[in-house]
Chains A and B, each alone.
Chain A
């Protein structure tokens, strides 16, 4: 049985930029432990001699020519999708240097 610690959950939350209550930390600690156990079943599969697979489509070398494409979207339309903008830039909460 995997037992995630409270610190494990807080670290994951920090990486995901999530602010969790103490109650949520405890909930996810249990749930994520169970999820990991479920996935851990894969550890039992014999993969000796198998190449790691990262693609199942069989596709390769899907490339385009180095030319500008008109996607039919103006910068203005895109910028409007940002929650806030100013002077043509996306405005966000101040980042620390």
Chain B
């Protein structure tokens, strides 16, 4: 929507944003029932049990793996898990919640504290985590159009979620988007969730308020955003909407809002007057979780390198933020290739490491996401490294131009594997002609064929030299070294 709020008015307000994110854990079974968890392709109400249905006498039993993933998530958020955590009942009545309450951790969450760092336009910002708790998801309801009923599918009821609650440390829509992306990366690297946003594996609720004073304004919560873009747009919309209201002398109503992705607007869902009184109390069916240091330390030892640590390790290569992010995201595209480990292996050879990073970012990662492109699946990481190194050496010794390096790598990546890469490049006419005797003949011919351009160059029109170089490149099918060609042209024209 076109904002009616001018930048001058906008500047008078401080925006405060906090985000709650629900992450679906990648367990085999539900949080409290031994029932399969992956509801994506399952027919409605086929992944259910007496526990999911909340039948009288049914007892929940905690899934050990969900606790394990909770510990990993704590490390991913830069903290250690709480040694003591416990479950509470949060009461509300809704048809997709057969128990009449949601099992969650209200008083003793498994994670408190932690933080992550985001980079917004070159500025590093630390966003603190308030807490994160385990809880069971509700079922799914649909409302067939033109009927007076709703349908409930309980496949998703009881799926383990980690709800991560940030401190209100964000102040712009860009902050919110960067935070959501960073959470995504960390949860993916920690391997606690598939993080498939399309399937709702990560859902974001954004709390937004604006104020002209030090006192926080009334906030709204926009729920169930399932893309980074929606997070950004919903914040932007709410900030404008709230400022417009306040400027008109109206109040902000504390309420829950939804996001209409088609119209790109938020809309009121329920007001504070209707907000539930949840009547939390400890769930007597579930004994508390007590973790000892030995277990926590053992899980710490399983943790892979997290994105922030990778950024630190790559920092010497002079990559910009978007290149580093491409590498961090590209790393997740394939289980077989580890771009980051390969770069790290050669990190002390800075020029090669940098070239490698650039080729990954600009060539291999885009190729992998291009459905028409082919990448040899049998190419091992070590052979990949050998291949890139051979190409790097050809470029370094001026035998290969940087554009032909990309052509060569594209062919090599498509496979099958090639033993002698220089020979292969020669066969494909990709090796640069640096033999000055040969090149001199071609240059002489080009000058003869293009007397006008040659005169222009002599008259000081240096733009024309580019044309002549281009002609030489054409004659040599791109194999000539442009720097050498330019030098020969100048010599032959007596410059």
Contacts and interface: CB of A to CB of B under 8 A. Distances in A.
Interface in A32-82: 54-55, 57, 59-69, 71, 73, 75, 78-79, 81
Contact of B150 (A55, A57, A78, A95): A95
Contacts of A97: 143, 269
Interface in B20-56: 27-29, 33-36, 43-50, 53, 55
A21 interface: no
B95 to A, nearest CB: 4
A15 B46 CA distance: 31
Given A66-B27, A66-B63, A95-B95, 5 more contacts: A57-B287, A66-B66, A81-B53, A81-B55, A92-B151
Nearest to A57: B287
Given A66-B65, A95-B150, A78 B143 contact: no
Task: Kindly list the 7 A-B residue pairs having the minimum CB-CB distance in the complex, ordered from nearest.
Answer: A69-B34, A54-B282, A66-B65, A89-B151, A59-B287, A63-B64, A90-B152
B288 A60 contact: yes
B288 A67 contact: no
Contacts of B141: 92, 95
A66 B151 contact: no
A68 B44 contact: no
B50 A78 contact: yes
13 contacts: A54-B86, A63-B61, A63-B64, A65-B65, A66-B28, A66-B65, A71-B50, A75-B45, A81-B55, A86-B149, A91-B149, A92-B152, A93-B149
Contacts of A55: 86, 282, 284, 287-288
Given A60-B290, A90-B152, A68 B36 contact: yes
A87 interface: yes
A53 to B, nearest CB: 9
Given A63-B62, A68-B34, A91-B151, A73 B288 contact: no
Contacts of B28: 66-68
Contacts of A65: 64-65
B263 interface: no
Interface of B: 27-29, 33-36, 43-50, 53, 55, 61-67, 86, 91-95, 107, 141-143, 147-154, 269, 276-277, 279, 282, 284, 286-290
Given A75-B46, A88-B45, A94 B288 contact: no
Given A60-B289, A66-B29, A90 B45 contact: yes
A11 interface: yes
B299 to A, nearest CB: 15
Given A66-B65, A71-B34, A92-B95, A15 B288 contact: no
Nearest to A17: B93
Interface of A: 11, 15-17, 54-55, 57, 59-69, 71, 73, 75, 78-79, 81, 86-95, 97
Contact of B148 (A67, A71, A94): A94
Contacts of B153: 88-90
Contacts of A92: 95, 141, 149-152
A55 B63 CA distance: 19
Given A54-B86, A60-B290, A88-B43, A15 B277 contact: yes
Nearest to A53: B282
Contacts of A89: 44-45, 142, 151-153
Q: Which residue, A55, A66, A87, A97, has most C-beta atoms of chain B within 10 A? A: A66
Given A78-B48, A90-B45, A63 B67 contact: yes
B95 A61 contact: no
Contacts of A57: 287
B290 A61 contact: yes
Given A89-B152, A90-B154, A64 B61 contact: yes
A73 to B, nearest CB: 6
A81 B131 CA distance: 38
Contacts of A67: 28-29, 34
B151 A90 contact: yes
A94 B143 contact: yes
A68 B30 CA distance: 9
A63 B62 CA distance: 5
A78 B157 CA distance: 14
Contacts of A59: 287
A56 to B, nearest CB: 9
Nearest to B277: A15
